Amino acid sequence: MPDLYPLARKLLWQLPPERAHKAALRALRLRLGFLVTGPQHADSPILGQSLWGLRFSNPVGVAAGFDKDALVPNEILNCGFGAVEVGTVTPQPQRGNDPPRLFRLDQENSIINRMGFPSAGLNVVEKRLSGRRRARGIVGVNIGKNRETADAALDYAEGVRRMAPHADYLVINISSPNTPGLRDLQRREPLEALISRVMDARSDARVTPPLLVKIAPDLSTDETADIASVCLSTGIDGIIIANTTISRPSETTNALFGQAGGLSGPYLFERSTKLLSDVYVLTSGRIPLIGVGGISNAEEAYAKIRAGASLIQIYTALIFAGMSLAERIKSGLTKLLAADGFVNISDAVGVDHRRDPRTASSKPVQTRTPPRRDGPATQYASLQDGD
Ligand SMILES: Cc1cc2nc3c(=O)[nH]c(=O)nc-3n(C[C@H](O)[C@H](O)[C@H](O)COP(=O)(O)O)c2cc1C
């Protein structure tokens, strides 16, 4: 079956962005995903790896916010993704910010959103996930706080306790720019206190999935170092880097860049990859990282992996390119890994940071064939130079 997304996109583009997204979720729920996935192939063994005792058949996941209320996790996985992260789910149902709150920047393949955690709430999501037929693939649950809750840790602890039995992994999301005060939880002391209370809550649950934290791309050098050190000292299982940015490109022609909210898509790529790279170094590669932000092709996915990501996630590019992107990225990654002589994806994680001790050269090591001159290694080096 050919990929019909270009046609579907024309129809979806007739609707306001939020309604278009709801229509796309409805189509997935009606099992129409096969119309937009294109030809599917079994995942190459080179892409498979185990992390936290979970088997990821490929590293390509759908980021949080796409399926906030866990309506279609299985249907998303059936499009070829190795994982999907549902949520952000808040304890109580809430409507989020007033519309309009989602803006599509067509020329720039970008999105600005200030959704503010609209959520069906834990009861609904718990019911959906507990009644779900377990399919292949990994389902993570991303947890947030209600806007009005003063003691944030109470909400996160509640989310972790309730979702632990239904999630392959849990994420505490402290990085959305659209809930007032949320990003302050990323500072050293509040973060330490939050993680310790959430870990206590997790140990009360009868199953204890890995616990990850999702951070913002707009952190100073000191803030980044603090987060890395807290993650190491608390024993957090993983870090997702990054959420949307509140920054804007310096030169823009599109007036929509003036909308308040978090920007996602290509502009986020460099910033989020630099942060990923920094955190990988600061944590000495000891904590698995998930790279997200501006990925729209296999080369960008590979650059994140080389910078330190064990897994990657996508959101915005799916809106513009459709679900068949999973297959395209997997097939491109398979070729890129093989061309660089890797036997398994896990060998490529963070390879841009490894130097050959014998030659002390600045070239990335262990590739059996030299990285292509115009390939991701070169591209990544230029990103490092730029910052
Ligand atoms: C419309 C929209 C809603 C989002 N909602 C959430 C959310 O609820 N929780 C979360 O952790 N991230 C959320 N995100 C952020 C994404 O998960 C991702 O971190 C970010 O968009 C960067 O990736 P991308 O450039 O591939 O989109 C949202 C992003 C978009 C575009």
- In this prediction, residue 367 carries a pLDDT of 35
- In this prediction, residue 380 carries a pLDDT of 29
Question: How far apart are the two ends of the chain, measured CA to CA in Å?
Answer: 44
Is 382's pLDDT higher than 60?
Answer: no
Residue 146, ligand 1, Cβ within 6 A = no
The percentage of the chain sitting over the pLDDT mark of 70, rounded to a whole number, equals 91
Residue 57, ligand 1, Cβ within 6 A = no
Q: Which of 110, 119, 176, 324 is catalytic?
A: 176
Q: Which of the residue ranges 36-45, 100-109, 133-142, 367-376 has the most confident prediction, judged by mean pLDDT? A: 100-109
Is 256's pLDDT higher than 50?
Answer: yes
Q: Is 247 a catalytic residue?
A: no
Residue 116, ligand 1, Cβ within 6 A = no
Nearest CA to ligand 1 atom 4: 65
Ligand 1 nearest-atom number relative to CA 292: 23
Binning the chain into helix, strand and coil, the percentages to the nearest 5 are 45, 15, 40
What is the CB-side half-sphere exposure of residue 285 using CA atoms within 13 A?
Answer: 14
Is 375's pLDDT higher than 50?
Answer: no
Q: Kindly give, in sequence order, each residue whose CB lies less than 8 Å from that of residue 193, ignoring residues fewer than 6 positions away.
A: 153
pLDDT bracket for residue 300 (50, 70, 90): very high
Please compute the mean of the pLDDT values over residues 65-73 and round it to a whole number: 96
Please compute the mean of the pLDDT values over residues 308-332 and round it to a whole number: 96
Please compute the mean of the pLDDT values over residues 27-42 and round it to a whole number: 79
- In this prediction, residue 154 carries a pLDDT of 94
**Helical (H) or strand (E) element with 379:** helix 376-386
Q: Which two tokens stand for residue 282?
A: 């600061």
0.85 exceeded by pTM: yes
pLDDT, mean over the chain: 88
Calculate the alpha carbon distances from 276 to 151, 171, 216, 338, 359 in Å: 29, 17, 11, 23, 26
Segment among 30-44, 61-75, 181-195, 226-240 with least mean pLDDT: 30-44
The residue ranking higher by pLDDT, 6 or 260, is: 260
3-state secondary structure of 300: helix
Q: Kindly give, in sequence order, each residue whose CB lies less than 8 Å from that of residue 148, ignoring residues fewer than 6 positions away.
A: none
3-state secondary structure of 345: helix
Instruction: Please compute Rg for the chain using Cα positions.
Output: 20
Ligand 1 nearest-atom number relative to CA 264: 25
3-state secondary structure of 213: strand
Calculate the alpha carbon distances from 182 to 155, 194, 232, 327, 360 in Å: 12, 12, 21, 35, 43
Contact (Cβ atoms closer than 8 angstroms) between residue 103 and residue 113: yes
The residue ranking higher by pLDDT, 374 or 137, is: 137
Q: Identify whether 242 is preceded by a cis peptide bond (ω within 30 of 0).
A: yes
Nearest CA to ligand 1 atom 2: 65
Residue 325, ligand 1, Cβ within 6 A = no
Residue 355 DSSP class: B
Contact (Cβ atoms closer than 8 angstroms) between residue 276 and residue 310: no
Nearest to 303 by CA among 266, 270, 262, 260: 270
Ligand 1 nearest-atom number relative to CA 63: 17
Nearest to 116 by CA among 150, 69, 65, 73: 65
Is 85's pLDDT higher than 70?
Answer: yes
Segment among 34-43, 196-205, 270-279 with least mean pLDDT: 34-43
Nearest to 209 by CA among 162, 143, 156, 165: 165
- In this prediction, residue 356 carries a pLDDT of 55
- In this prediction, residue 354 carries a pLDDT of 87
Please compute the mean of the pLDDT values over residues 283-307 and round it to a whole number: 98
State pLDDT tens for residues 143-184: 999 999 999 999 999 999 999 999 999 999 998 888 887 888
Contact (Cβ atoms closer than 8 angstroms) between residue 90 and residue 75: no
Please compute the mean of the pLDDT values over residues 313-326 and round it to a whole number: 95
Mutate to test the pocket of ligand 1, among 71, 114, 171, 243 (most ligand atoms within 8 A of CB): 243
Please compute the mean of the pLDDT values over residues 133-147 and round it to a whole number: 90
* Residue 102, strand partner residues: 113
Is 359's pLDDT higher than 90?
Answer: no
Using the structure block, give the residue that is written with the tokens 């809750």: 149
Residue 265, ligand 1, Cβ within 6 A = yes
Is 4's pLDDT higher than 90?
Answer: no
